[in-house]
């Protein structure tokens, strides 16, 4: 397979703490340093959450602005994807940073169960997040926790609520949500290709110990891969990951195994239909 593989690094997330793994970047300075190393290792998308001074998740637009500015300075050309995920705020707070015009933002288009709660994405909130993304020229990444989310993205694209072809990420291995299941994974790919066209790019993320398996499934199937300490803090069963870059290197190794070139940030922007930037 010769199509370049986009590696997304989810650097921080809402949940992991320094107690889980001291390498999890929490402050903006740590996040920039960790992302720069991951960028140099081959990642071309940074999926970002921010934390407050106590290390708790927040949707504070000022923090997102500082992080975005730092990443643009230290990782020129890298795609900045901000999370509108639900652990960092309630309701429209979750999209308060979209006016910063990041390249991308994650967007869930349906509700799902998470380990200890409902990940609530009400229809009116989804519509509002989508409209903010259109207003500010932000490309959504659709977080598909379920098959219905892929079909919902199709409806939204048909109505013009999502501009262009949706970029869907399959998320597997969240407790109480979609387990890691190869048949379902293959059907997700089939569904994306049927609804959006056979050459449509897609990506996948596996949570916890499933991260590397999902990387391998995606890379060997022509998709794009997400890794990073947000989803998994371990390098293997016995060792904590020393950095985000170390997890990116595992994905790079799989790309070598399956003869996939690593997408440069320029290639990643082209594949995803994002604006060109001068770096
Ligand atoms: Zn996230």
Mean pLDDT score, 92-107: 96
**128 C-alpha to ligand 1 centroid (Å):** 19
Give the domain CATH number at 263. 3.20.20.70
Mean pLDDT score, 255-272: 98
Report pLDDT digits (tens) over 31-46.
999 999 999 999 999 9
Q: Is residue 112 part of a domain?
A: yes
Q: Is residue 121 part of a domain?
A: yes
Which pair of structure tokens corresponds to residue 59?
Answer: 């949707």
**142 C-alpha to ligand 1 centroid (Å):** 12
Q: Which domain holds residue 69?
A: 7-272
Q: What is the pLDDT of residue 90?
A: 74
**259 C-alpha to ligand 1 centroid (Å):** 28
Tell me how long the chain is.
279
Pairing of β 104-107 and β 139-144: parallel
Mean pLDDT score, 8-13: 98
- The SS3 call for residue 202 is strand
Predicted TM-score (pTM) of this structure? 0.97
Report pLDDT digits (tens) over 164-181.
999 999 999 999 999 999
Distance CA 39, CA 16 (A): 21
Question: What's the total number of domains in the chain?
Answer: 1
Q: Is residue 254 part of a domain?
A: yes
Q: What is the CA radius of gyration of the chain?
A: 17
**15 C-alpha to ligand 1 centroid (Å):** 9
Q: Is residue 1 part of a domain?
A: no
> What is the signed CA dihedral for 35, 78, 126, 109, rounded to 10 degrees?
-80
**178 C-alpha to ligand 1 centroid (Å):** 16
**89 C-alpha to ligand 1 centroid (Å):** 13
**111 C-alpha to ligand 1 centroid (Å):** 15
Cβ atoms of 112 and 86 within 8 Å: the answer is no
Q: Is residue 68 part of a domain?
A: yes
**228 C-alpha to ligand 1 centroid (Å):** 10
**14 C-alpha to ligand 1 centroid (Å):** 7
Q: Is residue 278 part of a domain?
A: no
**84 C-alpha to ligand 1 centroid (Å):** 8
Token pair 């190869």: residue = 182
**86 C-alpha to ligand 1 centroid (Å):** 9
Q: What is the pLDDT of residue 145?
A: 97
**135 C-alpha to ligand 1 centroid (Å):** 22
- The SS3 call for residue 225 is strand
Q: Is residue 47 part of a domain?
A: yes
Mapping DSSP onto H, E and C, the string for 146-172 reads: CHHHHHHHHHHHHCCCCCCCCEEEEEE
DSSP secondary structure of 2-55: -SPBPEEEE---SS--TTT-TTS--SHHHHHHHHHHHHHHT--EEEE-EE-TTS
Cβ atoms of 20 and 12 within 8 Å: the answer is no
87: pLDDT strictly greater than 70: no
**225 C-alpha to ligand 1 centroid (Å):** 14
Q: What is the pLDDT of residue 1?
A: 67
Token pair 């066209």: residue = 197
210: pLDDT strictly greater than 90: yes
Q: Is residue 64 part of a domain?
A: yes
**87 C-alpha to ligand 1 centroid (Å):** 9
What does the mean pLDDT of the chain come to?
Answer: 96
Percent of the chain with pLDDT over 70: 97
pLDDT band at 258 (very low <50, low <70, confident <90, very high): very high
Which pair of structure tokens corresponds to residue 29?
Answer: 């300075």
């Amino acid at each position: 397979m010769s199509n370049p593989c986009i590696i997304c690094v989810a650097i921080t997330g809402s949940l992991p703490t320094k107690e889980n793994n001291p390498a999890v970047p929490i402050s903006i300075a740590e996040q920039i340093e960790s992302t720069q190393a991951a960028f140099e290792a081959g990642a071309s998308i940074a999926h970002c959450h921010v934390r407050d001074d106590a290390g708790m998740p927040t949707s504070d637009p000022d923090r997102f602005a500082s992080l975005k500015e730092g990443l643009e300075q230290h990782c020129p050309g890298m795609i900045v994807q901000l999370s509108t995920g639900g652990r960092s705020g309630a309701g429209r707070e979750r999209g308060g940073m979209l006016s910063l015009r990041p390249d991308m933002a994650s967007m869930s288009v349906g509700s799902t169960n998470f380990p200890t709660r409902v990940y609530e994405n009400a229809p009116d909130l989804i519509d509002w997040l989508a409209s903010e993304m259109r207003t500010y020229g932000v490309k959504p990444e659709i977080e598909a926790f379920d098959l219905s989310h892929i079909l919902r993205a199709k409806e939204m694209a048909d109505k013009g609520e999502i501009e262009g072809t949706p970029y869907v990420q399959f998320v597997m291995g969240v407790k109480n949500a979609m387990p890691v299941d190869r048949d379902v994974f293959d059907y997700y790919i089939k569904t994306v290709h049927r609804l959006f066209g056979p050459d449509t790019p897609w990506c996948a993320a596996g949570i916890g110990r499933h991260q590397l398996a999902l990387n391998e499934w995606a890379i060997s199937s022509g998709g794009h891969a997400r890794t990073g300490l947000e989803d998994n803090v371990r390098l293997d069963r016995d060792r904590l990951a020393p950095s985000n870059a170390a997890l990116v290197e595992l994905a790079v190794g799989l790309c070598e195994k399956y003869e996939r070139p690593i997408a440069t940030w320029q290639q990643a922007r082209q594949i995803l239909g994002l604006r060109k930037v001068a770096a």
